[in-house]
Structure 1
Amino acid sequence: MDLSIVIPLYNEDESLPELAAWIERVMLANNFSYEVIMVDDGSTDNSWAVIEGIRAKNDAFKGIKFQRNYGKSAALNEAFRAAKGEVVITMDADMQDSPDEIPALRNMVLNENFDIVSGWKKIRYDNTFTKNIPSKFFNAAARASSGIKLHDFNCGLKAYKNKVVKSIEVYGEMHRYIPVLAKWSGFKKIGEKVVEHRPRKYGVTKFGWERFVNGFLDLGSITFVGKFGKRPMHFFGLWGTLAFFTGFTIFTYLVISKFFFDGTGMTQRPLFFFAILAMIMGTQLFLAGFLGELIARNAPDKNSYLIEQKMGL
């Protein structure tokens, strides 16, 4: 199968028939073998009934219905597990992503051997103050911390090799950072394509200001887990050592000063309390590192590694 098109959705019953017809036209025009996996993330409108009607006319359209709203990451993760296409394309259901971009994205993955191709909505039709400006800060922070030079991490229109989506787990709000997850898994050929961003035709946006706060928190989380998930002591031990020896050095200085120089009482100096605090913090960081190592070493996937090729085995 050439393509798996993954569409997570929440309360998009108005846009689905038009989107499905557009995708079908593009697939027929390019003679692609395909499947479209629509994931209803606990919609409260008639989205599921619309999906059932679409499938009745074309069995290439498939559906997954969540019992309640779990979020976009959960929807993508379930669809990725089910996807069978050589190339997996993700897009939003609100008609702001154009299915006409699909052939070019597919060709970049297959012909230019990209692991991921991410869309870049260079010209946007969103509210400048509430979406564009915060997105610029968010994308700049993501580029700086991950080293991945993408302009638009959160663009829903992306193309993946099938083995990429089978090798990652998307959870929480990590759908923004799928390129980062893929990079930590060893897929480093990540490309970008300018794509059309269309004005919203139906409904209203489902995202608010809180997504930017959550986005920065998730960025810190994924950066830490990617670098230190299998070796937490390297992080906690380093900072614990620095904190403890800083405190110990100050404490030693105060002892020497009291008995050999000015005779000032140790507890009468603010540095004494800073030294004690630093040693306590250093000890706690060390303990956190030991606990992290115990958890990591007893995790079921502690020796789970992605192997690209084997020979003679």
Structure 2
Amino acid sequence: MNLSIVIPLLNEEESLNELYSWITKVMDANRFSYEILFIDDGSTDQSWPIIEQLSARDTAVKGIRFLKNYGKSQALHAGFAKASGDVIITMDADLQDNPEEIPELYAMIVDKGYDLVSGWKKKRFDSVVSKNLPSKLFNWAARKTSGVALNDFNCGLKAYKKVVVKNIEVSGEMHRYIPVLAKNAGFGKIGEKVVLHQARKYGTTKFGMERFINGFLDLITIWFLSRFGKRPMHLFGAMGSVMFLIGFFAAAYIGCLKLYKLYHKEPAVLITDNPWFFIALATMIIGTQLFLAGFLGEIILRTKNNEERYKISATV
């Protein structure tokens, strides 16, 4: 099979039939062997009945329905697990991603040997204040932090080799950083393609300004995981050592000062009257705690079990 098209969605009943027709038109024109995987992330409208109807009349259409809304990352994880195509395409269900881009994305994977190709919505039809400017700032920070030179991390239209999606773990809210996850897993040939972006035709966006706040927090998380995720003691141990040494030398200074005054028979002063006492106490305690955090992190890594991240209520 050439292609698996993975489409996470939430309450997109107006768009699904039109999106399906558009995709199949492009697939048939290019003679692709394909499957369309709709991942219903807990929709409360008629999205799932529409997916069932599409699947009943076209065996290329498959669906997964979550019991509730678990998030886009979990939807992509489920779609990647089920996908069987040689190339996996992800796109949004709101008709803002153009299926006409799929053949070129496919060619970049198959003919040019890219592991992953990310779409770049260079010309956007979103609000400048609520999306464009925050998105530019977010993408700049992501580039600087991750070292992956993409202009648009948020674009849902991406193409992957099958081996990529089968070897990365998309969890939490990490769908924005799949290129970074791929790079960290050893897939270094990552490309970018300018893609057309349409204005939303139906409904309203399911993402608010909080996605950028969450995005920056996730960026810090993925930076930490990429550098220290397999060796947390290297970070916490180093920080703990520094803090403990600061406390040790502060305590040594207090002790030497006390001995000096005793030797010269100067008036006795309580150690607790010296502010360095509290600096020494606090830094040594913090240093010890950081060491313990590192040890606990190492223990968790070696004993953790894979937890269930979402529940599926139906498939077609």
Task: Spell out the pairing of 1:80-119 with structure 2 (5 A cutoff).
Answer: 80-119=80-119
Output the TM-score relative to the length of structure 1.
Answer: 0.92
Shift of 1:175: 0.7
Mark the runs of 5 or more structure 2 residues left unpaired by the alignment. Answer: 307-316
Deviates most, 216-225 or 251-260: 251-260
Structure 1 equivalent of residue 136 of structure 2: 136
1:179 has 2:184 as partner: no
Cα deviations by residue, 1:85-110 (Å, 9 ceiling, x for unpaired): 11000000000000000011111111
How far apart are the structure 1 equivalents of 2:245 and 2:210? 39
How far apart are the structure 1 equivalents of 2:302 and 2:76? 29
Task: Spell out the pairing of 1:141-180 with structure 2 (5 A cutoff).
Answer: 141-180=141-180
Instruction: In structure 2, give the amino acid aligned to 1:292.
Output: G
Shift of 1:13: 0.6
How far apart are the structure 2 equivalents of 1:54 and 1:286? 56
Shift of 1:158: 0.3
Shift of 1:296: 2.0
Mark the runs of 5 or more structure 1 residues left unpaired by the alignment. Answer: 302-313
Shift of 1:287: 1.0
Structure 1 equivalent of residue 31 of structure 2: 31
How far apart are the structure 2 equivalents of 1:26 and 1:264? 85
Shift of 1:44: 0.7
Where 1:167 maps in the other structure, the secondary structure is coil
Structure 1 equivalent of residue 226 of structure 2: 226
Shift of 1:142: 1.3
Task: Spell out the pairing of 1:258-269 with structure 2 (5 A cutoff).
Answer: 258-260=258-260, 265-269=270-274
Contact 1:257 1:264 in 2 (8 A): no
How far apart are the structure 1 equivalents of 2:108 and 2:116? 9
Change in CA separation of 1:190 and 1:265 when aligned onto 2, cut-off 3 Å? same
Where 1:106 maps in the other structure, the secondary structure is helix
Shift of 1:22: 0.6
Shift of 1:265: 4.4
How far apart are the structure 1 equivalents of 2:302 and 2:49? 47
Shift of 1:228: 1.8
1:273 has 2:278 as partner: yes
Where 2:192 maps in the other structure, the secondary structure is strand
How far apart are the structure 2 equivalents of 1:203 and 1:24? 23
How far apart are the structure 1 equivalents of 2:197 and 2:275? 58
How far apart are the structure 2 equivalents of 1:17 and 1:208? 26
Where 1:159 maps in the other structure, the secondary structure is strand
Shift of 1:270: 2.4
Output the TM-score relative to the length of structure 2.
Answer: 0.91
How far apart are the structure 2 equivalents of 1:186 and 1:22? 34
Where 2:85 maps in the other structure, the secondary structure is coil
Instruction: In structure 2, give the amino acid aligned to 1:82.
Output: K
Shift of 1:249: 1.4
Contact 1:9 1:40 in 2 (8 A): yes
Instruction: In structure 2, give the amino acid aligned to 1:119.
Output: G
How far apart are the structure 2 equivalents of 1:172 and 1:20? 28
Structure 2 equivalent of residue 310 of structure 1: none
| Greater length-normalized contact order (CA 8 Å, ≥ 6 residues apart) | 2
Cα deviations by residue, 1:119-153 (Å, 9 ceiling, x for unpaired): 11111111111111111221122112211011111
Structure 2 equivalent of residue 214 of structure 1: 214
2:301 to 296, 299, 312: 296
Instruction: In structure 1, give the amino acid aligned to 2:47.
Output: S
Structure 2 equivalent of residue 244 of structure 1: 244
Shift of 1:233: 0.9
How far apart are the structure 2 equivalents of 1:272 and 1:129? 51
Structure 2 equivalent of residue 15 of structure 1: 15
Give the alignment's Cα RMSD to 1 decimal. Answer: 1.6
How far apart are the structure 1 equivalents of 2:288 and 2:53? 62
1:69 has 2:69 as partner: yes
